[in-house]
Each structure stands twice: as C-alpha cells, then as structure tokens.
Amino acid sequence: GDGEQNKPPIIQEEAVYDLLHHLNPHKSMGPDGIHPRVLRELVEEFAKALSIIYQQSWLTGEVPEDWRLDNVTLIYKKGQKEDPGNYRPVSLTSVPGKIMEQFILSAFMQHMQDNHGI
C-alpha cells in the first residue's frame, strides 16, 4: 500500500560491501583524505560502519559535513596554456559521500519506476 512506498530504504551492509569492493583504487581521494584504495582494501572493517552511517543519514536527512565538501581543480585540455578556456574544472568529492549518492539515486529511480514516473 501507500505506507509501504513511503518507508525509507534499508541500506544493507552487503550492498555497502559490494560498492566498496568495486571501488577503483586508482581514483583520487576527496577533501576528507579517504582514499578509495583504503576503503577497498579494508572493506571488511568499513562496510558495517558505513551502512549504519548511511542509514542514519537517510533517516535524519543529515549528511556528514566532510561529504558535502569538494576540491575543484582545473585540468589542462589542449591549446595555449595561457587561455583559461583550455582548462576544465574537475570536482573531487568524498568517496564515502559518492557511495551514499548511489544509494539515493537507486532509491529515487526505484520510486520513479514504482510510480510510473519514468
């Protein structure tokens, strides 16, 4: 029924484990200093704790402050280096925050499909 649709998703430890296990260890870390390689290699230690944090974040609507920060860096593309138009901005954000975003996106997409929004 309708009550079932409005219940928040339960973020399973196994789902967090799977996402951590498949992190690309060669990607950059965010401003929080947490490198994806560390999360991937210590997946056994991080999965349960992060699943609890993600669930609490979902229920309270609060996100750890570090996960909202980003480092914007300009990356040179091609052409004259003096021309600012030859650079593109790249935003480095928190790896645990990106994983939380994947849960939010998944829940949103499920909601849209359930309600024939897509």
Whole-prediction pTM: 0.76
Q: Are 96 and 77 in contact (CB under 8 A)?
A: no
25 alpha carbon, distance to own chain's centre: 15
At position 51, the amino acid (one-letter code) is S
Terminal C-alpha separation, the chain: 20
Which neighbouring-strand residues pair with 88? 75
Among 12-21, 60-69, 97-106, 109-118, the least confident range: 109-118
pLDDT in tens, 31-63: 889 999 999 999 999 999 999 999 999 999 999
> Which letter does DSSP use for residue 78 in this model?
S
d(CA 57, CA 49): 12
Q: How many domains does the chain have?
A: 1
Q: Which domain holds residue 29?
A: 2-114
